[in-house]
Amino acid sequence: DAGVTQSPTHLIKTRGQHVTLRCSPISGHKSVSWYQQVLGQGPQFIFQYYEKEERGRGNFPDRFSARQFPNYSSELNVNALLLGDSALYLCASSLVHTSTDTQYFGPGTRLTVL
Amino acid sequence: GQNIDQPTEMTATEGAIVQINCTYQTSGFNGLFWYQQHAGEAPTFLSYNVLDGLEEKGRFSSFLSRSKGYSYLLLKELQMKDSASYLCAVTPYGQNFVFGPGTRLSVLP
């Protein structure tokens, strides 16, 4: 069975640009969560979506947005990129959206902002 | 809010046993998770504790004490491939995962 997939693997952007990251969950999983992981730190929660609705939002500015599609895949958008947005962006899928549900992570997208 | 603490780095020898601690301050949570993350890769699920006590899974065991705000991950018969970061995460009531900073474990021959 395919795990969580993310694209692209790596991305280089300049300050002020915008970026779209994509995620496909494990088949049968209906919830997708996004995390930002800066080198040397644990993942920081950005968003959770379940059945196309936002179910949770972390402490990130409005430049960050996301959505979930009818096939449960998801996109994370970041506008007006800053140098500090350089990080590994992880997508995790789970069966449902409850906090007892194990989350399974994709390989991540490494974003570098120059 | 939640505050999760883990040692930054640990070193152990191949074949030994190592205990990685996680302490947290949160008013209430549903469960505590442990993930392993090799450098440059995604976190992979190791274990989940809801009730106090020890959960054993092969060479890996995880312990939780809610009254003491404390958990640990125990790795036995260490192998070189166990060199990785180990992340502790709690799921507070009504909230998503909150991860600790992670502990980088180096296993030496």
CB contacts, 8 Å: B45 with chain A: 102-104
- Whether residue A33 and residue B97 make contact (CB cut-off 8 A), yes or no, is yes
**Does the pLDDT value for residue B1 go beyond 80?**
no
Please give the Cα distance from B60 to B77 (Å, whole number): 9
Please give the Cα distance from B76 to A98 (Å, whole number): 32
Both structure tokens of A91: 């997508």
**Residue of B48, B78, B77 lying closest to B63 (CA atoms):** B48
CA distance B72 to chain A (A): 17
Q: How far is CA A96 from CA A93, A104, B46, in A?
A: 9, 12, 19
Residue B70 at interface with chain A, using a CB cutoff of 8 Å:
no
Both structure tokens of B47: 């274990």
| Among B45, B95, B99, beta carbon nearest to A99 | B95
pLDDT, tens only, A104-114: 999 999 999 99
- What single letter denotes the amino acid at residue A108? G
Residue B5 at interface with chain A, using a CB cutoff of 8 Å:
no
pLDDT, tens only, B51-101: 999 999 899 999 999 988 999 999 999 999 999 999 999 988 777 889 999
CB contacts, 8 Å: A41 with chain B: 101-102
CB contacts, 8 Å: B92 with chain A: 99
CA distance A42 to chain B (A): 4
Residue B44 at interface with chain A, using a CB cutoff of 8 Å:
yes
| Among B92, B94, B96, beta carbon nearest to A33 | B96
pLDDT, tens only, A8-65: 999 999 999 999 999 999 999 999 999 999 988 999 999 999 999 999 999 999 999 9
- Residue B30 or residue B109, greater confidence: B109
- Whether residue A103 and residue B101 make contact (CB cut-off 8 A), yes or no, is no
DSSP B81: G
Residue window 48-77, chain A: list those with CB within 8 Å of chain B.
Answer: 48, 56, 58
CA distance B26 to chain A (A): 15
First to last CA, chain A: 37
